[in-house]
Homo-oligomer: A and B are copies of this chain.
Amino acid sequence: MPRLKMGMIGGGQGAFIGAVHRIALAMDGEFELVAGAFSRDAENTRATGLALNLDPQRCYPTFEEMARKEAMRRGPDHLDAVAIVTPNHVHHAAAKCFLEAGFHVICDKPMTVSVAEAMDLVATVERTGRHFALTHNYSGYPMVEEARQRVQAGELGTVRKVYAEYLQGWLSEPLESSGQKQASWRTDPTQSGPVGALGDIGTHAFQLVEHVSGLRVEKLFAVLKTFVTGRRLDDDDTCLLELSGGATGTLHASQVCFGRENGLALRIFGTKGALAWAQEHPNDLHWTQPDGSVCLLRTATGATGAASRALTRTPSGHPEGYLEGFANLYRAFARAIRGERGPAASFPTVRDGLRGLQFIEASLRSDRAGQWISMD
C-alpha cells in the first residue's frame, strides 16, 4: 500500500519531540513526511525542510497557510494527516485548523492549555469526523498493553492501590535561564499553559493510571510546588487519588529529582496479584503471582498475550524502546486512517486529551483550596 502523506507543525531545528515523531512515522513505512510548518522562524522552517529533503513549496511560514494550500492539493500527493508537535499553547488552534480543513490530526500532549479548549476540540473532532490521536506514547509499549490486558481480565482481582510516578531531574537547575529551548517553553506559562511538570509529565502518568487500571480517578488532593527559585510554573507535584471501585493511589510528577532521567513507573496492587512496570526498562513487566512470587514477563515471549505481541517487531530478547512505542501509536493511527477498526487501530483520543486537562484543572483547584476535589 502507498504510504500515507504526513505534514508536521512544529519540530524545527532545536526541538526534541519533532525528531521523535519523524522517526516514529517512518519506522513502519506507513507514513511519509511531505510538508511542514516547522517554526515561527521562516529560516528554521526552510533549513528543516531542506535537511528533510522536502519540496520547498510545501514548507510553509504558518500552519494556517499550510492548511489552506494543502487542502487544495489533489492526487497522489494529497496530504492525509498532520502531526502537531509545537509548544502546548498552539495545539488547539493548529489542531482545529487542520481538522476543519479535512485532515486527520496526531497531536502531542497536553492536548490544550485549558478544559475549554479541550472541549472545543472534542466538538470539532465529532463534527468533522476526522481521526485525532494524542501521543500518550507510553501506552504504546507492549508491556503496558500486557499489563492492561491482564488487569482487564481480572488477574489482579480488585485493584486496591495504584502508585504512579514520573520523576525527572533535568530541571533541578534553572536551565531556562540559560536559554535552553526545551526548558524555556516548558516553564513559560504563555507557552506551556497554567502548569509545568503537571502538564508535561503528570498527564502521562495520569493517563497511564487510568489506561492500565481501567479505573477512573474520582477525587484528588494535589500539592503543586516550585522548587527552583524564579521558576514560574510547578516543577514538583504530588496527587493523592481516589479511584472508582474503592482503590486509592498516589501520583508523583517531579522534574527536580536529581539524576533521574525519565522515570515513569507504575505499580498496581490488587486483591489477588500485583504489577510493576518502569519505562526505563520497558520490556520488563514484574507480575506478582498468587503465590506471592514475582514473575518477570518479557516482551514477545511465550508468557505474553497476543495483544502485546502485536506491538513488537522483533523476537523476544531484542529490546524495543521509546521510539518503537511511539511508532506503535503511529501505526494504529495509520490503520484507523485506512479504515481499520478495533484494538489494532486504537490509540489515545481527543477524549483522553480532555481527561488530561480535567486532571490539570482539578489539581490546580485542589492545590489552591487545600482540599479534595471531585473530578466528575
Contacts and interface: CB of A to CB of B under 8 A. Distances in A.
A235 to B, nearest CB: 10
Interface string A123-155: 000000000000000000000000000000000
A250 B248 contact: no
B262 A316 contact: yes
Contacts of A313: 19-20, 23, 323
Contacts of A227: 160, 246
Contacts of A254: 161
Interface string A286-323: 01110111111110011100000000011111111111
B26 A318 contact: no
Nearest to A50: B1
Contacts of A2: 53
Contacts of A324: 321, 323
A252 interface: yes
A295 B293 contact: yes
Contacts of A260: 269, 274, 317
Interface in A40-65: 52-53
A256 interface: yes
Nearest to A296: B294
A261 B301 contact: yes
B317 A257 contact: no
Contacts of A14: none
A104 interface: no
A185 interface: no
Main secondary structure of the interface of A (DSSP, over half): loop
Contacts of A168: 317
B22 A256 contact: no
Interface in A216-257: 221, 223, 225, 227, 236, 238, 240, 246, 248, 250, 252, 254, 256-257
Q: Which of under 10, 10 to 19, 20 to 34, or 35 or more describes the interface residues of A? A: 35 or more
Given A1-B53, A318-B321, A295 B295 contact: yes
Contacts of A16: 314-315
A345 interface: no
A172 interface: yes
A101 interface: no
B303 A291 contact: yes
B1 A29 contact: no
Given A163-B252, A223-B248, A323 B314 contact: yes
Contacts of A52: 29
24 contacts: A1-B53, A20-B314, A26-B27, A27-B323, A160-B256, A168-B317, A223-B240, A225-B248, A227-B246, A236-B248, A238-B250, A258-B269, A258-B272, A259-B293, A261-B315, A261-B316, A262-B318, A280-B319, A281-B319, A293-B296, A293-B298, A313-B323, A318-B322, A323-B324
Given A29-B53, A160-B258, A238-B250, 15 more contacts: A20-B314, A22-B29, A27-B27, A172-B271, A227-B246, A250-B252, A258-B270, A258-B272, A261-B316, A263-B317, A281-B281, A282-B319, A291-B301, A292-B298, A323-B323
Interface of A: 1-3, 16, 19-20, 22-23, 26-29, 52-53, 156-157, 160-161, 163, 168-170, 172, 221, 223, 225, 227, 236, 238, 240, 246, 248, 250, 252, 254, 256-263, 269-274, 279-283, 287-289, 291-298, 301-303, 313-324, 370-372
